[in-house]
Amino acid sequence: MARPHRRAGLSCMEPRIDLILSICLGIGLSAACGFRVFIPLFVASGAAFFGYLQPSAGFEWLGSETAFWTFATAALLEVLAYFVPWFDHLMDSIAGPAALVAGTLLMAASLTDMGPWLKWTLALIAGGGSAAVVQGSSMLARGFSTTLTGGAGNFLVSAAEAGGALVLSLLAITLPVVAAGAVVVIAVSGIRRGIAALKRKRKG
C-alpha cells in the first residue's frame, strides 16, 4: 500500500524518530532485566509473537513459539525461586551476569536499521549498562531488607521486583519514551542510595 504524500522535512525526521523509539524500547526492556532476567524476555517474545514488536535482523527467533513458551516457563520458575527463603541470595549471584547478557541481547534486538558494530556497541553500553544499574539498585534494596528483617521481608522485595520487571517491560512495549524516563529515575535513585550506603559504611 502506497503511503500518502508527506512533506520532505517530516519524511526525513521519521528515521530519527524510529531510532529514538527503538533506543528507548531497548533501554526499557534492558533495565527490566535488572529486576528479573526472564520476565522482560518473555514480554518481548510475546510482543514479537503476537505482532506488536518487530525484532531487528538476526533476532526473528525471539518471536517464535518455542522462544515464547521457553521464556514463559523460565520466567515463572525464576519468580518462584526468589520466594524460597535464603535461596534468593544464590539467585542474586547468578542474576547479575545473566541480567547483563539479557539486557545486551534485548537492546540489540530492539535496534533496527543499524550496522552490526554500532548496534552491539550501543547494546553493550546502553543495554547492559541499564540492566547493571537497575540490578545494583535491586541488590541494595534486598541487602537493606536482609539487614532489617534478617531475610524475612525479602519476599516483599521479590514481589516488588517481579512487578517492576513486568510493568517496565510492558511500558517499554507500549510507551517506550515513558519507560526510558522511568529508567532514568530508577538509575538516579539507585545511585543516590548507593552513595548514601557508602557514606554510612565509611562513618561506621
- CA 188 to CA 83: how far, in whole Å? 28
Q: Is the pLDDT of residue 173 over 80?
A: yes
Q: Tell me the per-residue pLDDT of 71-112, one tens digit each, with 9 for 90 and over.
A: 999 999 988 887 776 666 677 778 888 999 999 999 999 998
Average pLDDT, the chain: 84
Model pLDDT, residue 61 = 96
- CA 89 to CA 182: how far, in whole Å? 26
Residues 6 or more apart in contact with residue 92 via CB below 8 angstroms = 139, 142
- CA 154 to CA 86: how far, in whole Å? 9
Q: Give the model's confidence band at 3: pLDDT under 50 very low, under 70 low, under 90 confident, else very high.
A: very low
- CA 31 to CA 100: how far, in whole Å? 9
Residues 6 or more apart in contact with residue 160 via CB below 8 angstroms = 141
Q: Is the pLDDT of residue 146 over 90?
A: no
Q: Is the pLDDT of residue 153 over 80?
A: no
Q: Tell how many helices (H) and how many strands (E) occur in the chain.
A: 8, 0
Q: Tell me the per-residue pLDDT of 126-145, one tens digit each, with 9 for 90 and over.
A: 999 999 989 887 777 766 66
Q: Tell me the per-residue pLDDT of 32-70, one tens digit each, with 9 for 90 and over.
A: 999 999 999 999 999 999 999 999 989 999 999 999 999
Model pLDDT, residue 150 = 60
pTM score of the predicted model: 0.85
Taking CA atoms, 163 is separated from 21, 68, 75, 122, 179, in Å, by 23, 19, 12, 27, 14
Model pLDDT, residue 190 = 72
Model pLDDT, residue 17 = 85
Residue ranges per domain, the chain? Answer: 19-203
Residue 112 one-letter amino acid: T
More confident site: 204 or 132: 132
